[in-house]
Amino acid sequence: MKKTYLYLLGGALLLWVACARVGSPTGGAQDKTPPKVVKTIPPNESVNFTGNRIRIYFDEFVTLKDIRKQLIVSPPLAYFPEITPSGNASKYINIKILDTLRANTTYTLNFGKSIQDNNEGNPLSFYTYTFSTGNTIDSLTLKGRIKDALLPKADNFVNVMLYEMGEKYSDSVVYKERPLYVVNTLDSLTSFELTHLKAGKYRLVAMKDKDNNYLFDPKSDKIAFYPTPITIPTDSTYTLSLFKEVPQTQTSRPFQSGEQRISIGYQGEKDSIQVKPLSPLPADWKWVMEKEPAKDTLWLWYHPKVEDSLKLLVKSNRTDTIKVNLRKMKPEKWKITPEFKGISPTEEEIVLSSNTPIHTFNKEAIKIMVAKDSIEVGFEPIFTPNTSQITLKVKVKEGEKYQFKAFSAFENFFGQKSDTLQDSFTAKKVEDFGSLKLTFKDDVPLPFIIELTDKEAKKVLYEQYVEQTSPSYSFPFLKAGNYRLRVIEDHNRNKKWDTGSYLKHLQAEPVHYFAKEIELRANWEIEQEISLAEQAEEKPKPTKENTTTAEEKPTKTEEKRVKK
């Protein structure tokens, strides 16, 4: 009996192992072959299409992944097709068209990377099914690439669209109507190709379409457009730069965000917003406005307190009278925090940040002294009354230690005096910094801005505004780190980058990136030649060091890195 049980158990285990091996085999080379289309009904590139159903057969079981995001139909349909089976593996897929098709029109269904084999997930990339409701398949193409107008990397899933420029065409079509042709860059491409096009005159537009409805919403979408009409056929390649328009200035509803503080969120240009408290108000009532440092929010500070509610007149793109209900809130303790920037071996910036507006300060109550002998050093304050920040510029000696003291030196908007502040800092040494010397091979239209940013190009760390050409441009005291370098052509001379406007036919100001990050170490000098036209792909490499390795020897170099 015992042996019989063991035999049965062994047999069951063998059967289980055998069953477990059915599916994807182990060992050997991994299957990297995508599925193949073996048959379509109706045949691909059929003409005089009158039905609403399509079936596509494959040589193996497939599944559909992100089909609603990956499938791009051109011209766009009002209703997304019904596609089955949606969840299970199958050797075919069915497409049911729910929209009325245009007459004499070539349609393309680009499946992106949605069709994958069931075992390994190998995609049948960008498979396209084409049919025509007329007698012929249109065969013209248009190629190009997209980029971001400001950032080094373009968005993914960008729609590139063509609008027919007939007698009734107007630029407002992007807000109201779907395009005639569309292709999507999906998740990995910055190049595009519109296929199966009809000869004609078109407006070429790209859009990062948040709602995926093929309509431009300036509040949420980025847009790009070619400045002149496109005539097809064409052999040209077109570049489109995506930008986010400055939204129409408007405010959100004000609300109490702190004791004696009201917050007003906004979008657009803050300088065009006007806020005025309305009576009845106490006779000695005062108020100030400032921007919240990290958000598009305005703060309205006031004193003395007002009971129950406060009425505000708010003007932006419209004028509103708004009642803000007030409640008792716990007052936030006033604090001032010093930050020592260490901008060079001979100059220190002390930035004092307050959580309530600073109304005034007493310069005589602020002492900056050499630590070893208490000798005072002078400083230059930079301050605008009733703001939350004050900067002290100090001339220092390299490597010297200093004491900073402020004896009740500050008074805030509410009339409170600050506590004594005390801290210390040590002036930086030359070897704590790196330096960068730039030489441009080609002419850059004046004026322009040279910016060094963080890796993602989201934060500007150093910048120079250039109004006259020079053989080179130097950044002498930079903190060690990795930087992105970009150059902005300042066409309107306002010393900042400006975005574009679709309806005004205004492109964003051109931005040029040095393609690779610049790695800068402490005590290094980098001399970098840059061609904005070539967009060099090389990463800067050191050419000289106290101990030089083979990798660090200069070759045919556009860049030199030497130790100071």
pLDDT band at 291 (very low <50, low <70, confident <90, very high): very high
What is the pLDDT averaged over residues 348-352? 98
pLDDT score for 220: 94
End-to-end CA distance of the chain: 88
Q: What is the pLDDT of residues 451-486, one digit of tens each?
A: 999 999 999 999 999 999 999 999 999 999 999 999
Instruction: Answer with the residue of higher pLDDT: 25 or 380.
Output: 380
**Who contacts 294 (Cβ-Cβ below 8 Å, separation ≥6)?**
none
Q: What is the pLDDT of residues 423-447, one digit of tens each?
A: 999 999 999 999 999 999 988 899 9
| Residues linked to residue 157 through DSSP beta bridges, in sequence order | none
Q: Which class is 37-132 in CATH?
A: mainly beta
pLDDT score for 564: 56
Q: Is the pLDDT reported for residue 307 higher than 70?
A: yes
pLDDT score for 453: 97
Output phi, psi for 140, to 5 deg: -80, 160
Q: What is the pLDDT of residues 494-547, one digit of tens each?
A: 999 999 999 999 999 999 999 889 999 999 999 999 887 766 443 444 333 333
pLDDT score for 28: 54
Q: What is the pLDDT of residues 165-196, one digit of tens each?
A: 999 999 999 999 999 999 999 887 899 999 99
Q: Is the pLDDT reported for residue 35 higher than 70?
A: yes
What is the pLDDT averaged over residues 287-312? 93
Instruction: Answer with the residue of higher pLDDT: 552 or 481.
Output: 481
pLDDT score for 188: 75
pLDDT score for 532: 79
pLDDT score for 543: 33
CA distance 420 to 147: 52
| Residues linked to residue 295 through DSSP beta bridges, in sequence order | none
CA distance 99 to 101: 6
Q: Is the pLDDT reported for residue 23 higher than 60?
A: no
What is the pLDDT averaged over residues 257-270? 93
Q: What's the chain's average pLDDT? A: 89
What element of type H or E holds 14?
helix 2-20
**Residue 494 in tokens:** 């306002």
What is the pLDDT averaged over residues 361-365? 96
- CATH number given to 336-428: 2.60.40.1220
Q: What is the pLDDT of residues 371-429, one digit of tens each?
A: 999 999 999 999 999 999 999 999 999 999 999 999 999 999 999 999 999 999 999 99
pLDDT band at 215 (very low <50, low <70, confident <90, very high): very high
Domain ranges for the chain: 37-132, 142-242, 250-325, 336-428, 432-530
Q: What is the pLDDT of residues 75-99, one digit of tens each?
A: 999 999 999 988 789 999 999 999 9
Instruction: Answer with the residue of higher pLDDT: 394 or 17.
Output: 394
pLDDT score for 3: 46
Q: Is the pLDDT reported for residue 549 higher than 50?
A: no
User: Where are the alpha helices (H) located in 108-203, listed in sequence order?
Assistant: 173-176
Q: What number of H helices and E strands is found in the chain?
A: 3, 41
Between the alpha carbon of residue 76 and those of residues 155, 215, 239, the distances in Å are 21, 11, 23
Q: What architecture does CATH give domain 432-530?
A: Sandwich (2.60)
**Cβ pair 336, 417 in contact under 8 A:** no
Domains 37-132 and 250-325 share a fold: yes
How is domain 250-325 classified at the CATH fold level? Immunoglobulin-like (2.60.40)
Q: Is the pLDDT reported for residue 555 higher than 70?
A: no
CA distance 79 to 72: 12
HEC sequence for 256-313: EEECCEEEEEEECCHHHCEEEEECCCCCCCEEEEEECCCCCEEEEEEECCCCCEEEEE
